[in-house]
Amino acid sequence: MSKETQGRKISLQRAEELKSHTAEYLAKRPHIVKGTDPDAIEKYETQKAKLLTLLNGSEADWNDWQWQMKHRIDGPELLSELLDLTEQEQTDIRSLGDMYRFAVTPYYLALIDPADRLDPIRALSVPTSPEMDDTGEADPMGEEFTNPAGIITRRYPDRLILNVTNACAMFCRHCQRRRRIGDTDVDVNKELLDESFEYIRNNPEIRDVLVTGGDALALTNEQLEYILQNLRSIPSVEVIRLGTRTPVTLPMRIDDAFCEMVEKYHPLYLNTHFNHPRELTPEAVAACAKLSKAGVPIGNQMVLLTGVNNDKYVVQCLNHELMKARVRPYYIFHAKAVKGTGHFGVSVDDGLEIMDHLRGRTSGMAIPTYIINAPGGLGKIPILPEYLVAKDEDTVTLKNWEGKLIEYPRG
């Protein structure tokens, strides 16, 4: 056999071996519901029509983000018209809504499959009794101790957060910032904002400012523009990032006026928060496309949650759907023990197993960094499966994605 045919034979054998590494995922994928599946779209259209009748709205209203915000569902009465709720569930929703705000946009509510009590979209948006469990902390990140001025959170040398609002389009049941949400929307306080701009101006090592909340896009375009304009007037601010879940919970928020406005303030990035492939609906994908067209790179920060995405194939599928929508998976957050969210918790070992599965089996661009937010405001800590398994004087022992060990010279 010639050298070439020998090489081809080995390559073909190896390709078969590689195929087997993805066979399981390919077998599972058709059973993971995606927001663009015809079945999912049909169910959404049915619920949407019901909601439009109940709320006396038109198609144009549905696509108007202000209408969506005004018509958020915040109690069990309307909810039980769409989902089958027991008496107990209705009572729970009423009392839990008092403990932790409950409001969901008609758009996001229409994504829930009413026939599925374990629907991940439902778990993310509708209160359930395990939220009454009082264990966990209110502020595990120690945000009170990292606030040098105004509405700033600073934990890093060159970047900081501006918490411009406590409002969100929807109040996620797993929210890690529940303490901030409060009972009513608090508008940006101009004095605190101006104090924050002053701080950034006086600390020119700050080159990256994250505008978030709550949800930065709960503000109007005018309010946002005031913030962006002021940040851009500070010469040391190089990059501005917006933190918002609206591409997921209120995709109509990404309207033409918003895109035209942000184009004036580049380089501007946006980080959002998709947790499940179901959330990548045609509407959400269109919102991401508009952002891309406006030159805004989009990153995704998923939270790892039991009953939603604690499954390596679901995470793999989510990241593929994100890449198709030109959204780069950026972080997977380990859920902290925040009061009222304990039932969503996933162990670090299970998180690592998901990361271990992704590496090698899919594009590096589709692999986010798994992060634990250190208690006490000590920052984000990336955690990785062990790829460096031993070190001795001259060599390191490395493990590849398939678990094969390799000796490699240190110097």
Site of interaction with ligand SF4 (CB under 6 A): 168, 171-172, 175, 177, 214-215, 245, 273
- Sheet of 369-374, strands arranged across: 152-153, 159-163, 208-212, 239-243, 268-272, 298-304, 327-334, 369-374, 379-382
Question: Which segment (49-57, 61-69, 129-137, 151-159) binds ligand PLP by CB under 6 A?
Answer: 151-159
Q: Minimum Å distance from CB 155 to ligand PLP? A: 4
**Nearest residue to ligand PLP, using CB?**
155
Question: Which segment (104-112, 152-160, 198-206, 390-398) binds ligand PLP by CB under 6 A?
Answer: 152-160
Q: Minimum Å distance from CB 335 to ligand SF4? A: 11
Q: Minimum Å distance from CB 220 to ligand SF4? A: 17
Closer residue to ligand SF4 (CB): 273 or 361: 273
The only residue of 32, 73, 161, 211 in contact with ligand PLP, by rule CB under 6 A: 161
Task: Kindly state whether residue 94 participates in binding ligand PLP, applying the rule CB under 6 A.
Answer: no
Write the single-letter amino acid at 387.
Answer: Y
**Cα angle: 166, vertex 170, 175; to 5 degrees:** 70
Cα–Cα distances (Å) from 146 to 231, 306, 397, in that order, read 20, 30, 40
Which partner in ligand PLP, ligand SF4, none is near 172 (CB below 5 to 8 A by kind)? ligand SF4
Q: Please, which residues bridge with residue 111 across strands?
A: none
> Which stretches does DSSP call E strand in 235-297?
239-243, 268-272
Cα–Cα distances (Å) from 124 to 208, 223, 246, 304, in that order, read 30, 28, 14, 12
Task: Kindly state whether residue 378 participates in binding ligand PLP, applying the rule CB under 6 A.
Answer: no
The only residue of 29, 94, 159, 201 in contact with ligand PLP, by rule CB under 6 A: 159
Whether the link from the prior residue into 127 is cis, omega within 30° of 0, is: no
Q: Minimum Å distance from CB 378 to ligand PLP? A: 10
Closer residue to ligand SF4 (CB): 247 or 377: 247
Number of CB atoms found within 10 A of residue 84's CB:
9
Whether the link from the prior residue into 214 is cis, omega within 30° of 0, is: yes
Task: Kindly state whether residue 160 participates in binding ligand PLP, applying the rule CB under 6 A.
Answer: yes
